[in-house]
Amino acid sequence: MTDRPDDDSTLLATELTIAWLANPNTRVNPDDVPGVLASMYEAVRTLGKTSAPDEGDAADTPEYKPAVSVRKSLADPDFIVSLIDGKKYRSLRRHLNAHGLSPEDYRQRYGLKPDYPMVAPGYSAARRDVAKKLGLGRKPGTKINKSPDQQASTRRGRKPKGEEAGGEE
């Protein structure tokens, strides 16, 4: 390729114009093709002139003020209070998705530490207890230690054939 930036812009504008005109959904009068090429060239040149965002653009980013303090958002063990709207949630995952944020974006927006929880501690503990009762997280082949009253209550069902009442056949 050539070293001149104008030649690069011309080549890029030409390739873009050819690709755009090759699209079957695009209908252009043959007399208008030079005008399309000229507008494409101007667009490519203006894109080449823009630089990386400078400090002036950083001031344009909105400053987000939390609805509640970070300490207050974690005060209740059963809920986490959202810094976006001040409402209580057990888990922030769906709430953040509704606002187009990931947990990392949320933490960055409000200057939170990387270990800031996205789930209420009480809710997490309740789910942990249910998982342990179901035996989730065990290694295969290990038995669950049950108390004797739990072992007796788990063995329910039909009586053996000899013990059935009215078992004449």
Instruction: Using the structure block, give the residue that is written with the tokens 């990931």.
Output: 102
Measured distance CA(167)–CA(169) in Å, rounded: 6
pTM: 0.49
- SS3 assignment, position 88: strand
Judged against a pLDDT cut of 80, whether residue 6 lies above it is answered with no
Q: Which of 24-28, 38-42, 105-109 has the lowest mean pLDDT?
A: 24-28
Tokens at 1, concatenated: 């390729």
- CA torsion sign for 114, 120, 121, 127 is negative
71-74 long-range Cβ contacts below 8 angstroms, 24+ apart:
74/117
Question: What pLDDT does 1 receive?
Answer: 46
Tokens at 97, concatenated: 């998705």
Tokens at 60, concatenated: 């344009």
> Higher confidence at residue 51 or residue 121?
121
Confidence of residue 159 (pLDDT cuts 50, 70, 90): confident
Under CATH, domain 62-136 is a member of which superfamily?
Answer: ROS/MUCR transcriptional regulator protein (1.10.10.1550)
Q: Are the CB atoms for 9 and 48 separated by under 8 Å?
A: yes
Judged against a pLDDT cut of 80, whether residue 51 lies above it is answered with no
DSSP 112: -
Summarize the confidence of residues 84-109 as an average pLDDT: 95
Question: What pLDDT does 83 receive?
Answer: 95
Instruction: Using the structure block, give the residue that is written with the tokens 């509704």.
Output: 98
Summarize the confidence of residues 37-52 as an average pLDDT: 81
Query: What are the two backbone dihedrals, phi and then psi, of residue 88, each rounded to the nearest 5 degrees?
Result: -90, 135
Confidence of residue 113 (pLDDT cuts 50, 70, 90): very high
